[in-house]
């Protein structure tokens, strides 16, 4: 098998036999992000076993999620699923008093065609707690796409902008009263919407980020005198941002294509297509794209970016000229590869579960220009990769680093290939200027470990034959 490194971006699609996390894993970070939520995963023991093991010690901290474990009677419809879900949701309401219950539909609910979307509004009326349905199942999605399905469902629950904007002179007072009585949104928010109305636009960012990272990004935009009027999701369900046809939206993560589509088509928002704010290059491009949409000239961005690159110098010396192979499992791959190429690395292959060329258009273009700028060959992008084939290719290419799932990490290490566990990129803080260091901290860890263990003569630790 010969492997050609191409001059243009090539897209391939393999068999889809690859390892990734089930998309229900999104509850792990979303329940922490949305403080007043409760996630109910409607599935089987298999789903529960995955969550229990994947989330490790989190499970012992009385998390705000649980399984509605389906039993044989549920599958064969001997039990009434509406009554069963009602019983569980009442219990959750009583024990935890959440502001919203999010039902995560799984493979099983798909196959037995359990009508979660139909039952939710009825049950919501009956028990008085909002219920959102997200079908984050392994039949359709991979890993981080779980968040995409939840946010897309949540986008429908954001308050409508018309309530505040239409006929501002006539019913301003009344709509304010409505607003306060019906939606319990703090005065701060109203003030913000007023400010943005004066500016004649508002900007909502979508994608779940730890609150510190979210405020870092908001602050970067503030420096360019852009006010972020809301985040989807917000820290609390009751603080969901206001949406409407005067609202611009921009994604912070590459796996949010359904959310983007929903925001555009159903909520009539205007999508700003930009590279994602991962790495200083990505962050700068992201801010520039947003500013250009609002007709704002950026200030001091160049210096800011240079300053960050300067602070990364020690890491860059380590990674310069080293090669990377992304096996692909979390959809952050394109952005990470683009950043690493800019850092001086050579990327052989970008495996990715699903490639939305429209939503990621700006990022793909940016990847291409980065390759040209750094004078490195374009990597091949492999959608729905086949792990078996990838390992064969890796044997031939012998990359300096493989970014891969935990299923392959130890076996590859035993064969002398350095690995970095890809899931860490989804849990670490990697967005914005400030966190560029964290990405490189992760990427260089195996390389630094090697420097420590050099010359011990035990890199290859499997017996021949």
Nearer to another protein by Cβ, of 244 and 385: the residue is 385
- Closest approach of another protein to the CB of residue 448, in Å: 21
Q: Which residues bind another protein (CB under 8 A)?
A: 16-17, 19-23, 42, 44-46, 48-54, 56, 59-60, 63, 65-72, 74-75, 79, 81, 84-85, 87-88, 91-92, 107-108, 110-112, 137-143, 388, 391, 405-411, 414, 461-462
- Closest approach of another protein to the CB of residue 61, in Å: 9
Nearer to another protein by Cβ, of 116 and 232: the residue is 116
Q: 160 CB contacts (<8 Å, ≥6 apart)?
A: 242, 243, 244
Q: Which of 27, 46, 12, 18 is nearest to 405 (CA)?
A: 18
Nearer to another protein by Cβ, of 15 and 187: the residue is 15
Nearer to another protein by Cβ, of 84 and 441: the residue is 84
How does strand 131-135 pair with strand 100-105? Answer: parallel
- Closest approach of another protein to the CB of residue 105, in Å: 13
Task: Determine the Cα–Cα distance for residues 201 and 182; give it in Å rounded to an integer.
Answer: 24
User: What is the four-CA torsion angle of 270, 272, 278, 279, rounded to 10 degrees?
Assistant: -150
| DSSP codes joined into one string, 254-294 | TT-HHHHHHHHHTT-PEE-----SBHHHHHHHHHHHHHHHT
- Closest approach of another protein to the CB of residue 230, in Å: 31
Task: Determine the Cα–Cα distance for residues 91 and 100; give it in Å rounded to an integer.
Answer: 14
- Closest approach of another protein to the CB of residue 254, in Å: 18
- Closest approach of another protein to the CB of residue 84, in Å: 4
Nearer to another protein by Cβ, of 16 and 300: the residue is 16
Nearer to another protein by Cβ, of 305 and 329: the residue is 329
Nearer to another protein by Cβ, of 76 and 169: the residue is 76
- Closest approach of another protein to the CB of residue 142, in Å: 6
The residue behind tokens 């390389």 is 447
- Gyration radius from the chain CA atoms: 23
Q: Where are the alpha helices (DSSP H) in 39-141?
A: 45-54, 72-75, 81-96, 107-111, 116-127
For 4, phi then psi, to 5°, come to -95, 135
Q: Encoding tokens for residue 353? A: 């579960």
Nearer to another protein by Cβ, of 267 and 408: the residue is 408
- Closest approach of another protein to the CB of residue 264, in Å: 24
Please list the residues that pair with 249 across neighbouring strands: 204, 271
Task: Determine the Cα–Cα distance for residues 82 and 122; give it in Å rounded to an integer.
Answer: 9
Task: Determine the Cα–Cα distance for residues 69 and 46; give it in Å rounded to an integer.
Answer: 9
Task: Determine the Cα–Cα distance for residues 16 and 141; give it in Å rounded to an integer.
Answer: 12
- Closest approach of another protein to the CB of residue 70, in Å: 6
27 near 143, Cβ under 8 Å?
no
Q: Is the dihedral of CA 50, 54, 57, 62 positive or negative?
A: negative
Nearer to another protein by Cβ, of 45 and 372: the residue is 45
Q: Is the dihedral of CA 424, 425, 427, 431 positive or negative?
A: positive
- Closest approach of another protein to the CB of residue 336, in Å: 21
Task: Determine the Cα–Cα distance for residues 252 and 363; give it in Å rounded to an integer.
Answer: 11
Nearer to another protein by Cβ, of 40 and 250: the residue is 40
- Closest approach of another protein to the CB of residue 52, in Å: 6
Nearer to another protein by Cβ, of 141 and 231: the residue is 141
């Amino acid at each position: 098998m010969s492997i050609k490194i191409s001059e243009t971006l090539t897209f391939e699609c393999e068999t889809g036999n690859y390892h990734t996390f089930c998309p229900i894993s999104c509850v792990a970070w979303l329940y922490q992000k949305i403080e007043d939520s409760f996630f109910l995963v409607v599935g089987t023991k298999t789903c529960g076993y995955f969550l229990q093991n994947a989330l490790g010690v989190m499970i012992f901290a009385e998390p705000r999620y649980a399984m509605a474990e389906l039993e044989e009677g549920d599958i064969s419809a001997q039990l009434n699923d509406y009554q069963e879900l009602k019983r569980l949701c009442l219990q959750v309401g009583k024990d935890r008093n959440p502001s919203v219950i999010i039902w995560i539909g799984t493979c099983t609910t798909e196959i037995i065609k359990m009508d979660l979307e139909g039952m939710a509004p009825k049950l919501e009326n009956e028990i008085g707690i909002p219920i959102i349905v997200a079908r984050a199942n392994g039949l359709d999605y991979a890993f981080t796409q779980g968040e995409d399905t939840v946010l897309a469902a949540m986008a429908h629950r954001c308050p409508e902008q018309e309530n505040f904007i239409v006929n501002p002179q006539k019913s301003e007072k009344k709509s304010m009263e409505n607003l306060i009585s019906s939606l319990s949104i703090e005065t701060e928010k109203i003030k913000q919407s007023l400010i943005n109305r004066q500016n004649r636009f508002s900007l909502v960012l979508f994608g779940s980020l730890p609150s510190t990272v979210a405020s870092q990004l908001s602050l970067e935009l503030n420096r360019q005198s852009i006010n972020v009027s809301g985040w989807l999701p917000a820290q609390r369900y009751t603080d969901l941002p206001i949406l409407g046809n005067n609202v611009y939206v921009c994604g912070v993560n590459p796996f949010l294509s359904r959310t983007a589509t929903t925001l555009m088509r159903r909520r009539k928002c205007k999508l700003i297509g930009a590279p994602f704010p991962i790495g200083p290059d990505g962050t700068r491009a992201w801010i520039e794209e947003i500013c250009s949409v609002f007709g704002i000239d950026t200030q001091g961005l160049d210096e800011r970016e240079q300053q960050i690159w300067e602070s990364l110098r020690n890491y860059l010396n380590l990674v310069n000229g080293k090669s990377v192979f992304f096996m692909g499992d979390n959809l952050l791959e394109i952005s990470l590869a683009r950043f690493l190429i800019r850092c001086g690395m050579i990327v052989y292959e970008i495996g990715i579960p699903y490639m939305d060329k429209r939503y990621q258009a700006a990022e793909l273009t940016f990847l291409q220009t980065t390759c040209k700028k750094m004078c490195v060959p374009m990597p091949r992008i492999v959608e729905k990769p086949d792990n078996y084939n990838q390992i064969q290719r890796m044997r031939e290419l012998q990359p300096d680093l493989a970014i891969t799932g935990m299923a392959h990490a130890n076996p590859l290490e035993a064969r002398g290939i350095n690995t970095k566990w890809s899931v860490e990129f989804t849990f670490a803080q990697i967005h914005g200027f400030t966190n560029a260091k964290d990405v490189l901290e992760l990427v260089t860890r195996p390389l630094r470990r090697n420097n420590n263990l050099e010359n011990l003569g035990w890199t290859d630790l499997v017996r021949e034959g």
